[in-house]
Amino acid sequence: MQALQAAGRPLTPREVMTRLGSDLAYTTVMTILSRLHAKGLVERERAGRAFAYRPVADEPGLAARRIHQILDEGPDREVVLSRFLGSLSKRDERVMRRMLEQLDARAPKRESRPPSDQ
């Protein structure tokens, strides 16, 4: 993933091999990229006879996707979130509160009206 992130453009398996500079076989790199594609972590497009791959998100975006996946798979989303928030350091808690306040400030304001009788 790091090679794809750093490239800034789609890479073929051969280009990934070159950037990694490792002894991995071409088929191994293809298998890894295919699995990343199956998991929805990379997109691919035709590049001649091969595919070229690119990440669907940057590193923070991929981390956010993993968090969503954990929440979606958990037995009780609210309990998981509660325990996560309860384990935050004071610094992380301040960051989280500031971010929530910023999100609230950007949210469209709703007019307070009495409910309609429909």
Options 3.40.50.2300, 1.10.10.10, 3.50.50.60, 1.10.3720.10; which CATH number does 2-55 get?
1.10.10.10
Cα-Cα end-to-end distance for the chain:
53
Taking the model in full, what pTM does it have? 0.69
59-97 per-position pLDDT tens digit: 999 999 999 999 999 889 999 999 999 999 999 999 999
What are the domain boundaries of the chain? 2-55, 59-106
- Quote the CA–CA distance of 115 and 117 in Å, as a whole number: 7
Res 4: pLDDT = 95
Res 115: pLDDT = 52
Fill in the amino acid letter for 83: R
Cβ neighbors of 59 (< 8 A, separation 6 or more) are: 5
DSSP string, 23-74: ---HHHHHHHHHHHHHTTSEEEEEETTEEEEEESS-HHHHHHHHHHHHHHHS
pLDDT band, residue 41 (cuts 50/70/90): very high
